[in-house]
Structure 1
Amino acid sequence: MQFSFIPTDVISKVISNVDFSNKHYQLALSLVVINPTIWNVVARLEYKHRIFSKITGSPKRACYGLAITIFTLGLIRDYYFKLGGCLEQNHNVGFLGSFWVKALGGLCFAAGQTLVLSSMYALGITGTYLGDYFGLLKEERLTGFPFNTCEHPMYDGSSLSFLGVSLFYGSPAGILGSAFVKLVYSIAQQFEGPFTSMIYAKRDEQRRAKK
């Protein structure tokens, strides 16, 4: 994708104001990668071997355990992203300190949270936290809002939220980190989407076989 509408000197200045040696920033970006890796590995192990259902005594308890883990790791990631990416590295670069950029940041954050919260409301706890892998499947595919606006509203909403906070604080490190979040989540979608589709296709095939 080309970004020719952004002057190269602005891009260079933004990147030059990022302190990659900042420990909080490094931890935040590490957690951006670690978190989806953990929940995908755990969920696939559960789907194939039912390890955590056996340990906890039920698929629902195992899923709730994963939900608590994901939520906690997310809070830690968000804390260090804000601390290391926005508060410690909020060097305003030209237009990043303007009112309009702050306003855009607020809009991005509001849109992102709308996608995230509406997704969670529609899916419920088990639907949000990979309950499909634990055998806790929805009766049918959700097609209403926000799923009629984008294919992965949770991931897209999270990415927008990171960008919104970064723009609000005028942080080059945060904006660069937000692009990294989007990249990592795009990769995660390539693994989760087809696997989830396979789970439901297998369920539908079993249903047809019983008729």
Structure 2
Amino acid sequence: MSKLLIIGAGGHGRVIADCAEASRQYCEIAFLDDSYPEREQNLAWPIIEKSSTWKSFKDEYSFALAIGNNQARLALYRALDEANVHLPNIIHPAAIISSHSELGKGNVVFANAVINPGSKIGNACIINTSASVDHDCQLADAVHISPGAHLAGSVKVGQCSWFGVSSSSVQAICIADNTQIGAGAAVTKDTEANGLYVGVPARRIKDI
């Protein structure tokens, strides 16, 4: 069993800690967060230093990234990966992941999420509570599939894109880089990069 440091002690970090605890793979779980030393506890888990001190711990701990912003999470992931930090996938035991799917590094997969056969998940992705990624989907790095969001089969999702809570997509479409899909939206055709899409069917309402 190894020790896990989670960078970011917000609500998302608490879910990662709970997920890691449920996996029973870690003898110690702690946080780095910029609120230290004003905050020294995040529910049941200690905050032991500021986020910027991660290099001091890289030989002793595995790391998870509890950063909701996709671009910021990807930048930190790349810095840690370049420093040869161990970035395991944190997977809740109640998630269902096909043995015929592929996951990169530094991903989190929460309770009741499903990843079906033939799917390829990049690095630093979030597959959130009760989300599903159906067969043969391809997710680039730093994608976030929010709670209750569902991708039909053979969907390609570009880097740093985000499906909001309870959003969905039809099969075999391409979601461009840095696309945000609003809560409850249903995507029925390819998107263009750097845009916010909302509604049923989803339509682009602004650049981001």
TM-score, reference length from structure 1: 0.22
Higher helix share: 1
Which one has the largest radius of gyration? 1
Bigger RCO (CA 8 Å, 6+ sep): 1
